[in-house]
Amino acid sequence: MLKAISPLDGRYHQRVEMLGDYFSEYALMGARVWVELQYLLALDQTKIFPALGKREIKRIEQLSISFTQEAYEKIKDIEAILNHDVKACEVYLVNELKLKHPNMIHFGLTSEDVNNIAYTLLIKKYRDAQQLPQLQILLRFLAKKITEWKSISFPSHTHGQMASPTTAGKELAVFASRLLRQYSALKKLPFRAKCNGATGNYSAFVSASSDIKWVEFSKKFLYNLDLDINPVTTQIEDHDTWAEYFSISKMINNIVLDMNEDVWTYLMLGYMKQKTKDSEVGSSTMPHKVNPINFENSEGNLGISNALLDHFTTKLTRSRLQRDLSDSTVERNIGVALGHAYLGLDETLRGLKKLRVNTEFCENELNNYPELLAEPIQTILRREGFTNPYNIMKNITRGHTLTVADLNKFISSLKVSDEVRKELSDLRAVNYTGIADKICNNVVREINKTF
């Protein structure tokens, strides 16, 4: 779109175009119509009205599987007159279905009954068809890199200072493990909806027929849509489930953001490098630059997503008295938040595919910091019964420049057995990575087991 206001509909349109199947006005209107039609079929089973004829049922089924641009435009024309989107859907269905008993359409419902179900179904559909598969692709790729890098010694930092070494694979394994937990929570999250009338008391339903167990009817109707019932509401569904969903989505964003920032820093420090393309440039004036653009783009998009998700969780779970309409315009931006999240994860995956570990540089970095061995040395000396070995190592390392020769001289001066002296002398920072490789294997095993 030449004059698109949102970059999701402009610069990034081709990357997120498929999300229009879940979050466009067209998708929402189609979902509303589908919900009205499914409700109509469910209502027919109550026998409040004379049974639908075969031709009527056929027309309902045809409309259920085919929502067209022509149908959308007809509804929008009606909405332009009525100034009410859900009522426009009802009028459209009355005109199209031509039922013998058109009062069946939207019988007993309030607009929020249709809206909360339609939005929830679209969110759930997006989760299952796009969000979870994208996470699965990211996790599978991380598992591949974790396996490749699990034994590559890698400098680590705590508080910005050189710390006990790790492996490149182990650092990715941390993020993969966190993402896997959120993936599982996201996949298992049940969605709730309501179908209980204007203020949540089934009043219109009961007034029409007090003999029918309307709560059971509503529960069965929602169950057939693969939704749980929210049994106690005002006019609106409380959206607590949505808030749980948004919170998990935000957690996923935050984990990826954390990984982006670490990778960006590793690139700055020279621990990692990016594959280059001859046709690309990193600066309009500095030809040498290879920018971490994917991780930076991801960071920006995920930040926008989180800002909106934060607002959704606080705004959509509150409504004045039995309802106010301030949620309506907010709900229309759900796709914006999730679109930026989808784009952010896609950028991170693109960036990860360019990465390689600068192995030689990492090993040299570790070899240049023999003081990193202060931790294992003082731990072994603890085992050997030395008095306050921590302070001994602190005095010769903290704030001092230590050489390998200095460290060897210190080890030679220790009153320990030859076996222990050899144990201490054999310590190397590049090998001081504990069971990092086994931790990597465990994470990869969990990912493979999940998928």
Segment 79-105 shows an average pLDDT of 97
| Per-residue pLDDT reduced to its tens digit, 210-221 | 999 999 999 999
- Residues 337 and 137: their CA atoms lie apart, in Å, by 20
Residue 402 has pLDDT above 80, yes or no: yes
Across residues 75-92, what is the average pLDDT?
97
Which residue ranges make up each domain of the chain?
13-104, 370-432
pLDDT digits (tens, 9 = 90+) for 288-310: 657 889 999 999 999 999 999 99
Give the pLDDT mean for 142-168: 97
Q: What letter represents residue 347's amino acid? A: E
Strands 192-193 and 228-229: parallel
Name the least confident of 88-102, 284-298, 309-323, 329-343: 284-298
Closest CA to 234 of 210, 203, 258: 203
Per-residue pLDDT band for 282 (boundaries 50, 70, 90) equals low
Would the pLDDT of 371 be above 90? yes
Beta strands in 348-438, from DSSP E residues, in sequence order = 355-357
- Flag whether pLDDT at 87 surpasses 60: yes
Asked if 13-104 and 370-432 have one fold, the answer is: no
Q: How far apart are CA 113 and CA 111, in angstroms?
A: 5
* pLDDT the model gives residue 399: 86
Say what the pLDDT of residue 2 is.
80
CB atoms within 10 A of CB 228: 13
pLDDT band for position 278 (50/70/90)? low
Residue with tokens 């670490």, as numbered in its chain: 262
Instruction: State residue 120's pLDDT score.
Output: 98
At how many degrees (to 10) do helices 293-315 and 240-269 cross? 160
pLDDT at 161: 93
- Residues recognised as catalytic: 159, 283
Per-residue confidence (pLDDT) for residue 276, from 0 to 100: 75
pLDDT at 167: 98
Identify the band that residue 400 occupies on the pLDDT scale cut at 50, 70 and 90: confident
Which whole number is the average pLDDT over 180-201?
A: 97
Q: Is the pLDDT of residue 283 over 60?
A: no
Q: What is the mean pLDDT of the chain?
A: 95
Q: Which residue has the tokens 């997006």?
A: 126
Q: Which CATH superfamily is domain 370-432 in?
A: Fumarase/aspartase (C-terminal domain) (1.10.40.30)
Q: Residue 286 pLDDT more than 80? A: no
Structure tokens, 176: 């993969």
Give, as one character, the DSSP assignment of residue 403: -
pLDDT digits (tens, 9 = 90+) for 408-427: 999 999 999 999 999 999 99
The Cα–Cα gap between 275 and 73 comes to 48
Residue 279 clears pLDDT 80, i.e. is over it: no
Whether residue 231 is predicted with pLDDT greater than 80 in this model: the reply is: yes
State whether residue 22 is helix, strand or coil: helix
Kindly tell me if the per-residue pLDDT of 284 is higher than 80: no
For tokens 């990016």, the residue is 274
| Residue 162 β-bridge partners | 157
CATH architecture of the domain with range 13-104: Orthogonal Bundle (1.10)
